[in-house]
Chain A
């Protein structure tokens, strides 16, 4: 009896294909490529491969506009992760990826396996992961569902990262009601690899064995990629079985075994099994190399009996890799995996006929042309148009908001607002120090790692202001790149390259697609001006539930290099009596600000055109000032404006500040309005002249606004006292509020 009878696979027709998730023309296209109708297994594989999640069919056209090259870029997009040079042959390999949909359904495992997946992407290329970060979004923390999701996601990230032994060194979290049923979990990892030891997903050399290594295959995660390519509905909550289960211990063993193997010359290629599991890994390897593969699926190690070839191809069980060994070295490879108590089975071989052929006990159950299915995957040029409502949003009149007065109370509300408050409750659960490289602990503008064996440091920051992207996706896209670059640069590091995770609603809607196109235009323009190419990333569409889309959230993770780790600049006041300078574009505006959203419950307004050239000059200034050692501390001014950022600089050492600003604007605007690019600098008297002349040389406007002093934060507006708060009391509000909400 053949496989198709044995497993009672249904016949394939358009109806079956559409139920599985293919569109009518996609099905026709598949039939054309095959020259026949696919069988059921083939259909499953094609559907997964052509899902939005795997094929980038709605975004591909627009991703091409990103700059991807620079002298220091070793590997741009298209591999498991991007790679840039850090110091000689020491390279950083990194990527950010979404795990949004599974994290809503099962927050612990969804987030945990998000971390696991991104770590594999990095060590597949030969890099030992040295840090992880994550960018998270949830609904407002005023309901049990959000609290449950935040708690579960944080526990999941901690559970996986801590056990694996990678420090989770930073990240960002933002709460807004549109994320209520569509939380975002974007996981980032960065590893170090020697330039001459980078591994690729190559299936080369006819007759070379294909070896399956790692955990056994189970029934978890089947159709995960397809699920991540649909909107959520009531039914989704019953999709729990589609979420994978993570085993960080196994992944740690897999890491060590793979890195040990990579020190040998036994293998030619390696590919991790991520979304769409064995299907996508085998296809990617074959299509990239222009070869073919022949797999005997009954040889795949399975976790339970009775698994069918269809399930084996589509399982998204975690902690698995596919490697192509050199012929004759099978036993050597197995020996290494034996040492680490991991399975390693030869499950097939490389061929040269261009086909992925799947066999089940000798019977060929699928044969698919690798290259044409990969190359002729559907690409959509989706329609986009600015939604009507957008004009309304832009037509915001700040004068429609009364300046409420009572600024100390408002500052306290801003500082206790979970969007601004300390995320200590979160990062305390992450081991952020293991590997002993963490120079800046979480809570700084950027994470900063030393690189053992080098003088250099690596700075990383993840940012995206969804409010800005919502009111003006183009300027919002620019802002995401610029803010992350400034966060890196205030440490003294030079921003070098970007990995992005583009989270949007349903791209089949013109308004959502418009947000996507405009945001990516903005990001692309900013990356060009700042000379920070995009080297890796991922797109997550369909972040919608019952037709309500999230705020457009193109997360940007910026990686920078600090030439001398000893010249780092911290982001908090260091001593009393130094000068406080504000530098950049200081035109505070409450439009689309956190203040307008949190205190006045409105998210609208427009963003003034962001001057990227000024941003670039500010970065030049910061890196040069770091090199010269003339700045004590520096902090990027963002959410919450001047008052919040001054307060944040006071907290760490309990050092107060006294400033006065003369401006003919409303006091709430001055204190809480936002504008960029803008930084606060702490400079001692001796270096004041040097800093001022360097700012002048870079054509950056600045103003000396006061001094660090005492133990209170004192702000005067046109000479009138508007804030006078004890730093210690404000710090307590800032430090404790998120923990209290989570009790």
Chain B
């Protein structure tokens, strides 16, 4: 399998994703420059966190016009696996590959800290190494991570088991108090209906080694690596 980490101007978790995939998980990984028009030869694309184009407009709004994004959309529509983390998630909602939108945190401030999220769907190809109801300690770092979706959209998500991660407390209980950014239904990550595009605000690449205080993100990369190993 081969993974590609898309680099927009202003991406700043590109090196971290590369390190997690390549150095920790041993996956053949390459950077893909945003001016590239093709993503041929890749099995997994990661849209990393950061501030693409400075995020001076709406987060991810300009990145969506990069040449590479057309290629990513094409790749995803053909069933290719795409993981959007933080700013990458924002790009995925901007392009319409994932439903909903990410708006400013309810406290209007940037928030960086370890949070608890509960695995709502361990049947996806990104989460098969987890179990339903498992609680992950995982860092968030964002200013605009407040997931918004209308009621109809939320019902669709629930019906199709598209909510993958939700913010919770250390015991797995879900309440507004443990919702760091104000997301609808405490949503931290969603997947598309087909199950090949995952977007999440928390950073799994930041918790892949005990040295950094946690390794709960490790298993996300292992899951998708295991799924794609045959290709």
Do A and B interact with each other, yes or no? yes
Interchain Cβ contacts within 8 Å, total number? 86
Q: Contact residue range for chain B?
A: 20 to 34
Contact check: which of B54, B113, B203, B211 meets A248 at CB < 8 Å? B54
Please state if A162 and B19 are interface contacts (CB–CB under 8 Å): no
Query: Is A450 touching B110 in the complex (CB atoms < 8 A)?
Result: no
Contact A434 B10, beta carbon cutoff 8 Å: no
Selected contact of A434 from candidates B16, B55, B143, CB within 8 Å? B16
Q: Is the CB of B112 within 8 A of A432?
A: yes
Q: How far is A435 from B20 in the complex, measured between Cα atoms in Å?
A: 11
B110 and A429 contacting across the interface, CB-CB below 8 Å: yes
Given contacts A163-B10, A249-B56, A429-B112, contact A436 B20 (CB under 8 A): yes
Interface centre among A252, A431, A437 (most CB of B within 10 A): A431
B54 near A249: Cβ-Cβ < 8 Å = yes
- Proximity bits, A393-435, B CB within 8 Å = 1, else 0: 0000000000000000000000000000000000111111111
Residues A435 and B15 in contact, CB atoms below 8 Å apart? yes
Q: Mark B202-231, 1 if CB is under 8 A from A, else 0.
A: 010110100111000000000000000000
Q: How far is A427 from B112 in the complex, measured between Cα atoms in Å?
A: 8
* Residue of A249, A427, A430 touching B51 (CB-CB under 8 A): A249
Residue contact B50 to A165, C-beta cutoff 8 Å? yes
Cβ-closest chain B residue relative to A425: B109
Specify which of B19, B54, B55, B212 is in contact with A438 (CB 8 Å cutoff). Answer: B212
Q: How many chain A residues touch the partner (CB < 8 A)? A: 33
Q: Is B9 an interface residue (CB 8 A)?
A: yes
- With A249-B9, A253-B9, A428-B112 already in contact, the answer to whether A436 and B54 are too (CB < 8 A) is no
Which B residues are in CB contact (< 8 Å) with A435? 15-16
* Complex CA–CA separation, A450 to B211 (angstroms): 9
Interface residues of A in 430-479 (CB under 8 A from B): 430-439, 441, 450, 452
Q: Could you say which residues of chain B place their CB within 8 Å of the CB of A252?
A: 9-10, 12, 51
- The interface residues of chain B lying within 8 Å CB-to-CB of A441 are 213
Interface 1/0s, chain B 79-113, versus A by CB < 8 A? Answer: 00000000000000000000000000000011111
Asked if A433 meets B19 with Cβ closer than 8 Å, knowing A164-B12, A249-B10, the reply is no
Cβ of A565 < 8 Å from any Cβ of B? Answer: yes
Per the bound structure, the CA–CA distance linking A566 and B212 in Å amounts to: 11
B31-58 contact mask (Cβ, 8 Å, vs A): 1 or 0 = 0000000000000000001110111100
CA distance A430 to B139 in the complex (A): 13
Q: Does B112 contact A431, Cβ atoms closer than 8 Å?
A: yes
A436-B19 CB under 8 A given contacts A163-B10, A253-B9, A429-B111 = yes
Give A362 to B55 CA distance when docked, in angstroms. 41
Least Cβ–Cβ distance between A29 and chain B, in angstroms: 45
Contact A163 B112 (CB under 8 A): no
> Which single residue of chain B is at the shortest CB-CB distance from A432?
B112
Interface digits, B178-194 against A, CB 8 Å rule (1 contact, 0 not)? 00000000000000000
Q: A162-B51, A435-B15 are in contact. List 11 more A-B contacts (CB 8 A).
A: A159-B110, A163-B12, A164-B12, A249-B51, A428-B109, A429-B109, A429-B110, A429-B111, A433-B206, A436-B16, A436-B20
Binding site for B on A (CB under 8 A): 155, 158-159, 162-165, 247-250, 252-253, 340-341, 427-439, 441, 450, 452, 565-566
Which residues does B use to contact A, with CB under 8 Å? 9-10, 12-13, 15-16, 19-20, 23, 49-51, 53-56, 109-113, 139, 141, 143, 203, 205-206, 208, 211-213
Can you name 29 A-B residue pairings with CB atoms under 8 Å?
A155-B109, A158-B109, A162-B141, A163-B51, A163-B54, A165-B12, A165-B50, A249-B10, A249-B51, A252-B9, A253-B9, A341-B9, A428-B109, A428-B112, A429-B111, A432-B112, A434-B13, A434-B16, A434-B49, A435-B15, A436-B19, A436-B20, A436-B205, A436-B208, A438-B212, A439-B212, A450-B212, A565-B211, A566-B211
